[in-house]
């Protein structure tokens, strides 16, 4: 063979070699299932969003170490919405256009709702990490087909803390103080409805700005009504400041709080003022399930920090999504995934065993919520 003939033969062989190598790469490394994750890990909600980021990264590693989904690895495309609903909407539009299989969002109610409007229109599955039931269920009972919740709803939390207050603490009348944002306002409305259904009188309702530092006028108005307890509905660190202000102003009676206070940050800021606070918790402190125990041990070993409920929410969102993807054989259209979830297949996770239905996209029961109290600087199960 002459030199020119050799070169021509080599050039003809290159495309065939490229195809062969491509086939080898395809069989050796299937394309990952890309999942969008829009979280608030900068700005005021960073204390909630950062544990969620940690949990998703850990979940991705664990799922892929155990074979992925039907032989395909998963990959979370995690982006920061900066705690801004408009940014969250833009990110959702971009992720849907890029071809993600589903979206996990979000850390805050306002960003979650902003994304829900986008995913519902696109027919894409969204797993939400916030407790606000109105994100997926309208007042008339209509359910958003493709939106599912990965933590106990605010309705379950309100039922739990008020039932405990009535049965264990003798609470017959309450006043409510809450964050003026959507999370706080919605939670306060639900707590009002739950209280009335339980024959507990609601004597007052006051709101505070998320970034407020003085709560004196609101607390004094509520104290003047002489409630047996004050219901506190908020998240991040502001509720701790509210609690300190209550104690400073002389309110020593029970405070019944949402799950948004279940963090070490609340206890550190509130300090001794946290005594006589009873909160809704999604993780049992003394009697964890095997799933919770495994998650907490892995998370704390990996990051050397406590596993907080916000991390558990993201971990469980992954469990729900992976179960649906496996159950549908890897199909990613929102309706197919939603149809499978609505069958009520049990999905064991760290906070609960989720069982969804066409009318219930929360999938948890009253037993999923644990009442917790501060003890020696830590949250513990209430007796």
Which residues fall within 8 angstroms of residue 332, CB to CB, at 6 or more apart? 33, 101, 102, 125, 325
Digit-coded pLDDT (tens) for 50-99 = 999 999 999 999 999 999 999 999 999 999 999 999 999 999 999 999 99
Q: Which residues of the chain have pLDDT under 70?
A: 1-28
Looking at residue 9, its pLDDT comes to 43
CATH architecture under which domain 155-281 falls: 3-Layer(aba) Sandwich (3.40)
The CATH topology of domain 33-152+288-365 is: Rossmann fold (3.40.50)
Residue 23 confidence (pLDDT): 47
**pLDDT (tens digit per residue) in 232-280:** 999 988 999 999 999 999 999 999 999 999 988 999 999 999 999 999 9
Count of CB atoms within 10 A of residue 173's CB?
15
Q: What is the pLDDT of residue 236?
A: 84
For the entire predicted model, the pTM comes to: 0.89
Question: Residue 28: what pLDDT?
Answer: 62
Tell me what pLDDT residue 330 has.
Answer: 86
Number of H helices, E strands in the chain: 12, 14
Contacts of 257 (CB under 8 A, 6+ apart): 161, 231, 232, 233, 239, 277, 278, 279, 280
CA 2 – CA 336 distance, rounded (Å): 61
Domain residue spans in the chain?
Answer: 33-152+288-365, 155-281
Rounded CA gap, 365 and 156, in Å?
7
Strand partners, 104: 37, 127
The number of angstroms, rounded, from the C-alpha of 197 to the middle of its chain's C-alpha atoms is: 27
Pairwise CA distance, residues 185 & 182, whole Å: 5
Predicted local distance difference test score (pLDDT) of residue 27: 53
CA distance 201 to 239: 23
| CB neighbour list of residue 379: distance below 8 Å, 6 or more residues apart | 262, 267, 279, 281, 285, 372, 373
Cβ–Cβ under 8 Å, residues 260 and 236: yes
């Amino acid at each position: 063979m002459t030199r020119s003939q050799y070169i021509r033969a080599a050039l003809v062989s290159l495309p065939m070699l490229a195809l062969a190598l491509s086939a080898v790469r395809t069989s050796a490394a299937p394309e990952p299932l890309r999942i969008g994750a829009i979280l608030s890990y900068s700005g005021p909600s960073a204390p909630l969003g950062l544990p969620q980021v940690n949990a998703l990264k850990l979940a991705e590693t664990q799922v892929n170490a155990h074979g992925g989904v039907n032989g395909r690895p998963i990959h979370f495309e995690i982006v920061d919405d900066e705690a801004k609903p408009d940014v969250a909407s833009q990110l959702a539009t971009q992720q849907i256009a890029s071809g993600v299989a589903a979206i996990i969002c979000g850390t805050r109610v306002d960003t979650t709702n902003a994304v829900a409007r986008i995913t519902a229109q696109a027919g894409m599955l969204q797993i939400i990490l916030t407790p606000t039931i109105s994100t997926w269920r309208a007042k008339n009972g209509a359910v958003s087909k493709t939106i599912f919740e990965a933590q106990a709803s605010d309705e379950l939390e309100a039922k739990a803390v008020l039932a405990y207050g009535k049965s264990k603490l003798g609470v017959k009348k309450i006043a409510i103080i809450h964050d003026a944002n959507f999370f706080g306002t919605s939670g306060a409305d639900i707590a009002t409805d739950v209280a009335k259904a339980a024959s507990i009188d609601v004597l007052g309702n006051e709101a505070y700005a998320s970034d407020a530092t003085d709560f004196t006028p609101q607390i004094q108005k509520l104290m003047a009504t002489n409630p047996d307890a004050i219901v506190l509905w908020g998240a991040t660190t502001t509720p701790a400041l509210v609690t300190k202000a209550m104690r400073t102003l002389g309110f020593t009676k029970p405070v019944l709080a949402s799950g948004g206070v279940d963090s070490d940050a609340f206890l550190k800021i509130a300090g001794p003022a946290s005594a006589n606070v009873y909160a809704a918790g999604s993780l049992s402190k003394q009697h964890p399930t095997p799933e919770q125990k495994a998650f907490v041990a892995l998370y704390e070993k990996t990051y050397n920090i406590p596993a907080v409920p916000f991390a558990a929410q993201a971990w469980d969102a992954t469990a729900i999504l992976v179960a649906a993807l496996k159950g549908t054989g890897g199909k990613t259209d929102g309706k197919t995934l939603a149809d499978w979830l609505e069958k009520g297949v049990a999905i064991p996770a760290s906070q609960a065993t989720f069982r969804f239905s066409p009318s219930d996209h929360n999938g948890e029961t009253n037993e999923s919520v644990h009442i917790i109290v501060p003890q020696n600087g830590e949250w513990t199960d209430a007796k």
